[in-house]
Structure 1
Amino acid sequence: MRTRTRGIQLNDDGSRTLNQVYKGQRIFERLGKVSQADAEAELRRRRDDIAAQELRNGAERVWADGARKYLIECQQRKARSLDTIAYHVDILLPYIGDKPMWEVCTESLEEFINDRLDEGVKNATVNRSLEVVRTVTNRAARVWRDRGKPWIGAAPLIEMLDEAAQARAPRPISWAEQAKLLPRLPDHLAEMVDFTVNTGARDENVCGLRWEWERPVPELKRSVFVIPPEYFKTNRSHVLVLNDRAWDIAQRQRGRHPDYVFVYRRERVKNLDLAPAMQYHRIGTMNTNAYQAGRKAAGLETVRVHDLRHTYGQRLRDAGVSKEDRALLLGHAVEDMPEHYATATVARLLDAANSVAQTRDRTTLLRIVNG
């Protein structure tokens, strides 16, 4: 007969037996005629022994082992953020790489956090690294198994830093500022920036835009690009609608690379009759040294690449585009958003996207009013 404590049975002769599966191991022992309190104490001792053994087993696994396994998993599922995750792992390894997995917690990360903050990075940037740490330890506790048992008994606590206090308001650029910025950028980067303020696409979607995602819309004599869920932030398909300006930019990229729309190669400055020194290759990010130098030369040091997306969003609002259509054009996750659009919907969105060219330049005034 089961007693008030799960795992302790009272037999007909008054003796007690331990019978429980704990962390995958069977605890079974006939205790004889002992009290309930003694039986509970013995059960706790046996459970503690198993937990201690699990910790010792987990101590054999250091954080670098988990980070390596996690990167392999990301590579196998072709995670779009693989390079970013690898970067965070690289800067974390000197601090926690050789620490036992169960020992990696907020306290053991203090040196890493303080060093990063001393370098001037924001809390949000530090949190991206901490999220990688937390993902690895969580998977060690909940997913990864060694001889049928988890790597560690429980995931240690990893606390995030407060981002709200450091959050910066969006900084869309005006038409005049755009005219100052573009000539100060290399040609390939100027095209990408111009494309972004006319589509609102995120940095990774501009840099990684593929020709295989292009879908012609014959009735409009135009194409759209359908970005697959695994490459889009909200993990759903996004139909990228190109206004006239963005369409012209995309057309100029044709024939340069079989896979990617926006590519770069170092061009010759002499011996121009010879073949190019390098082949075209995919661009990793618009936020390069060239972009940072260009924005500084234009007096726009505070304008991030993501602010180009905010610029498109504000111009859509200035043009009177409805909230629903702005959400469709920007790819915001809203309830009942369709993954593919009818031709009539694309035509309406194309008109809305083109309307940004006729907007009044109100961004400077709005920034003054809003402080």
Structure 2
Amino acid sequence: MPIIVLTPRLVKSTTCPAGKDKVNIFDSHCKGLMLEVRHTGGKTFYMRYQDARGKTRQLRLADEQDVSLAQARQLCNQRRSQIALGIDPTADQAILRSVPTFADFIHERYMPFVKGYKKSWVSDDSYLRNHLLPAFGKMHLDEITKRDVIAFHHGMRTKDYALGTANRCLILLRYAMNLAVRWEIPGMKVNPTKDVALFEDHNGKERYLTQDEAQRIFEAVRQSENRMLQYIIPMLILTGARKREVLDAKWTDFDLDRKQWRIPTTKAGKPRHVPLSDGVLQLLDTIPHDDCVWVFANPKSRMPYVSIFCSWDTARKRAGLADVRIHDLRHSFASFLVNAGRSLYEVQKILGHTQVKTTQRYAHLSQDTLIDAANQVAKAVPLMLALPNRVDEVRLVRVEV
């Protein structure tokens, strides 16, 4: 490693000795400045220094064709000044190199995490593969900006995707980015989806059963070839539980003395307790036990059903309610509660919602309930009912004319 006074002419003329891959030449005029000359003819300026722990490090400054010797010396002096102030000039480069792409983060961190607790991870995987990864997969996390997110979100609308689909993609992206910030993934300090508003979607499907329709459903499932359907569907309507929560229920989850059902793992990843009505207790009492741990087990496999769609589809059509989805039974349970005068707080606790905002979408009162509520005002203020009769109205019109 020769140490000489580098000159512009020497920099241009120096070649790598035969039989060697490269040679390093140090500049005696500028401490730490080094010229690497390779057998291929390429030349690069480096700075060699010791970090705060006394380790020798090497920092690439620039290619010899891009800067002059004087500029290389100036860069070297600037970096040495940073080191003297306790600033590691390689730190920023190391951070940049460690920032993963969105695709790497999703495959290596996000998906392994959500698979461990989130039952809807399959849905996440679908939205990621079909929408988010094609848009952001090759970008490093610190390259994704708020402008990029808005362009993606609005772009889905121009591509004729449903507003709900665009919103779900944004919600998923926001959640993934929040995790990246929380986990202190290199390059992630601020979530780029922050303050990006969801579309107002007024086209969401909302279907609530009337009491008559619920009775028709009960009668239809009793005629189903799937004998367990006559227990599963009433359980959904009478508890407001999610389909998977019911299908995966075990006898040990029920405390019949305390009239309580403990659901071990919910959509939110936490256990919750559901109060059991007398109707549910009667229903459970009629279900064949057969020493099986699962309450609603498939009689053939003695395991939870993977799907009940076919038998449910037949039953709802038999009831003349082909538009009713299984999750609408949960909507209907909440609607029955609210129409019976129960508070949103009570509905929220029974359904296991973490936010009142979620519960409010289920709190649709029936038209009869709204009319009754409006009539309460008239009863409270009887003087308002002293309205002019038809004859008075005609007399007033004639006078005005």
TM-score w.r.t. structure 2 length?
0.52
How do 1:210-229 residues align onto structure 2 when only pairs under 5 Å count? 210-217=250-257, 223-228=259-264
Do residues 132 (structure 1) and 166 (structure 2) align?
no
Give the Å deviation of 1:331: 4.3
Report the Cα offset of residue 71 of structure 1: 2.2
- Aligned twin of 2:189: 154
Distance across 1 between alignment mates of 2:229 and 2:259: 22
Distance change >3 Å, CA 367–CA 261, structure 1 → 2: farther
Shift of 1:293: 6.8
Residue 72 in structure 1 maps to residue 112 in structure 2: yes
Query: Is residue 96–residue 187 contact of structure 2 (8 Å, CA) maintained in 1?
Result: yes
CA distance in 2, matches of 1:319, 1:194: 19
Q: 1:174 aligns with which of 210, 214, 222?
A: 210
> Post-superposition shift, 1:195?
1.3
Structure 2 portions without partners, runs of 5+: 1-51, 53-77, 357-364, 374-401
Counterpart Cα distance in 2 of 1:303 and 1:163: 26
3-state SS, counterpart of residue 173 of structure 2: helix
Say if 1:256 and 1:280, in contact at 8 Å, map to a contact too: no
1:2-151 counterparts in 2 under 5 A? Answer: 50-51=91-92, 54-58=95-99, 61-68=100-107, 69-76=109-116, 78-91=117-130, 92-105=132-145, 108=148, 110=151, 114=155, 118=159, 120-123=161-164, 125-144=165-184, 150-151=185-186
So what's the TM-score if we normalise by structure 1?
0.56
Q: Compare CA radii of gyration and give the structure with the larger one.
A: 2
Alpha carbons of structure 1 residues 263 and 47: separation in structure 2 relative to 1, 3 Å: farther
* Rounded Cα–Cα distance in structure 1 between residues aligned with 2:367 and 2:313: 21
Secondary structure of 1:172 counterpart: coil
For the Cα contact (< 8 Å) 2:241–2:351, is it kept in 1? yes
Amino acid at match of 2:179: R
The aligned counterpart of 1:255 is 290
The SS at the match of 2:208 is coil
AA of the residue aligned to 1:202:
R
Distance (Å, rounded) in 1 between the aligned partners of 2:168 and 2:161: 15
Does the aligned pair in 2 maintain the 1:200–1:313 contact within 8 Å? yes
Residues 139 and 206 (structure 1), Cα distance of their counterparts in 2 relative to 1, 3 Å cut: same
2:304 corresponds to which of 275, 282, 307: 282
Kindly provide the amino acid, as one letter, of the partner of residue 114 in structure 2. Answer: C
Change (3 A) 1:328 1:119: same
Kindly indicate whether the alpha-carbon contact (under 8 Å) linking 2:118 and 2:267 is maintained by their aligned counterparts in 1. Answer: no
Alignment of 1:225-304 (within 5 A): 225-228=261-264, 230-231=265-266, 233=268, 235=270, 237-245=272-280, 247-249=282-284, 251-252=286-287, 254-255=289-290, 257-258=292-293, 260-264=294-298, 276=300, 279-283=301-305, 288=309, 291=312, 295=316, 300=321, 303-304=324-325
CA contact (8 A) 1:203 1:305 kept: yes
Q: 1: distance between equivalents of 2:291 and 2:89?
A: 64
What amino acid sits opposite 1:57 in the alignment? S
Give the distance between the partners of 1:83 and 1:200, measured in 2 at CA: 23
Answering whether residue 330 of structure 2 is matched by residue 309 of structure 1, we say yes
Asked whether the 8 Å contact 2:253–2:262 carries over to 1, the reply is yes
SS of the residue corresponding to residue 238 of structure 2 reads coil
Structure with the bigger RCO (C-alpha within 8 Å, sep 6+) is 1
Q: Is the 8 A contact 1:196 1:202 kept in 2?
A: yes
Structure 2 CA distance for partners of 1:176 and 1:72, relative to 1, 3 Å = same
Structure 2 residue identity aligned to 1:134? R
> What amino acid maps onto 2:104 in structure 1?
D
- Unpaired stretches in structure 1, ≥5 consecutive residues: 1-19, 21-37, 145-149, 266-275, 336-361
- Once residues 317 and 163 of structure 2 are traced to their aligned partners in structure 1, the CA distance between those partners, rounded to angstroms, is 20
Distance 1:166 1:198 in 2: 28
Report the 3-state secondary structure (helix = DSSP H, G, I; strand = E; otherwise coil) of the residue aligned with 2:255: strand
**Secondary structure of the structure 2 residue equivalent to 1:226:** strand
Give how far 1:173 is off: 0.6
Cα deviation 1:65-84 (Å, max 9, x = unaligned)? 211222222344x3444444
C-alpha RMSD of the superposition: 4.7
Residue by residue over 1:253-297, the C-alpha shift from the partner in whole angstroms, topping out at 9 and shown as x without a partner, is: 533853x433447xxxxxxxxxx5xx24434677x4665676567
2:235–2:280 CA contact under 8 A, matched in 1: yes
* Identity fraction in percent: 20
Question: How far does the alpha carbon of each residue in 1:177-215 deviate from its partner, in whole angstroms, 9 at most, with x for none?
Answer: 224445666544453222122112233422332333122
